[in-house]
Amino acid sequence: MTPLTVPSRGIHPVGPVSPPHRASASASNATRVVRIASLRRVMASRVQGPGATDHAQRTGARRSQQGVSALTGRSSRRGVRAAVMCAGLVACTSGERPLRLGTTYTVEQSGALAVLDSLWTGPPPLTTVVAPSGQILRAAANGDLDVVIAHAPSLEQRLLVGPGHALLRCPLAASRFAVVGPAADPARVATAATAAEAFRRIASAGSPFVSRGDSSGTHVKELALWRAAGVTPAPRW
């Protein structure tokens, strides 16, 4: 499930999103962050572009069920309402400057941001930055964001919760991933009992695998599955 968090220090003036190399911010630099952790897929039926509806229909799809289920319709709207309520806890201390929301491409593409924007009454106004989870979480830890919607629980724990930057954490939503491949299924992914077993079969078969490789929540989940499979992925099999 998706948790939401608020760090316990003061709010910084508006600034640019920090690059990844600024991850080691001290606690004194912590912003008052509302963190909505591990939101990977909100209102999945509204995702546009490739991969939204094809995943469940393609032969060889195997879903990872660890904290996973797609929210649609009314349930999703309630989840976004919860995000608005939690963001309000930060907004009341932020003065007249915009409330700075950082989120991921998955959330943006789901349509959840449009719902969030429609429910936000302010003040202050809401400004949004979209980037991979790793960059967003580092920016939040560095004091450059007030609200974060992300989906990388291990990074969230390491960058925000562990160092004490998170004051409030609330579950918001859950998500679903799929391993998708060709209909011929040369790696026999479709009959794998678990996602880790599917990854082992892909490695054993030397089948091509496309990775995000960008410290996004999807990439973090992929790396966790490779570890669970006992495989160290190489540039080429």
Instruction: Please count the CA atoms within 13 angstroms of the CA of 120 that sit on its side-chain side.
Output: 25
Which secondary-structure segment (H or E) carries 36? strand 34-36
Tokens representing 177 are 């991933």
38 in a domain, yes or no? Answer: yes
Residues of the chain under the 70 pLDDT cut: 1-96, 237
Torsion of CA 75, 78, 79, 85, to 10 degrees: 180
Q: Are residues 204 and 159 in the same domain?
A: no
178 in a domain, yes or no? Answer: no
10 in a domain, yes or no? Answer: yes
Q: Are residues 101 and 204 in the same domain?
A: no
Tally the domains of the chain.
2
The whole-number pLDDT of residue 237 equals 66
| pTM (predicted TM-score) | 0.55
Q: What number of other Cβ atoms are within 10 A of residue 223's Cβ?
A: 16
Dist. CA 103–CA 68, nearest whole Å:
19
Beta bridge partners of 35: 5, 169
The gap from C-alpha 207 to its chain's centroid, in whole angstroms, comes to 27
Q: How far is CA 4 from CA 44, 87, 126, 151, 221, in A?
A: 20, 10, 18, 11, 19
- What pLDDT, in 10s, does the model give residues 15-65? 333 333 332 333 223 222 333 333 323 322 233 333 333 332 332 333 333
Residues 6+ apart with CB under 8 A from 59: 181, 182, 183, 185, 190
The whole-number pLDDT of residue 2 equals 40
Dist. CA 190–CA 181, nearest whole Å:
9
Residue 195 in 3-state DSSP?
helix
115 in a domain, yes or no? Answer: yes
Domain holding 62, by residue range, is 4-169
The gap from C-alpha 218 to its chain's centroid, in whole angstroms, comes to 7
Q: Are residues 71 and 131 in the same domain?
A: yes
Q: Are residues 47 and 141 in the same domain?
A: yes
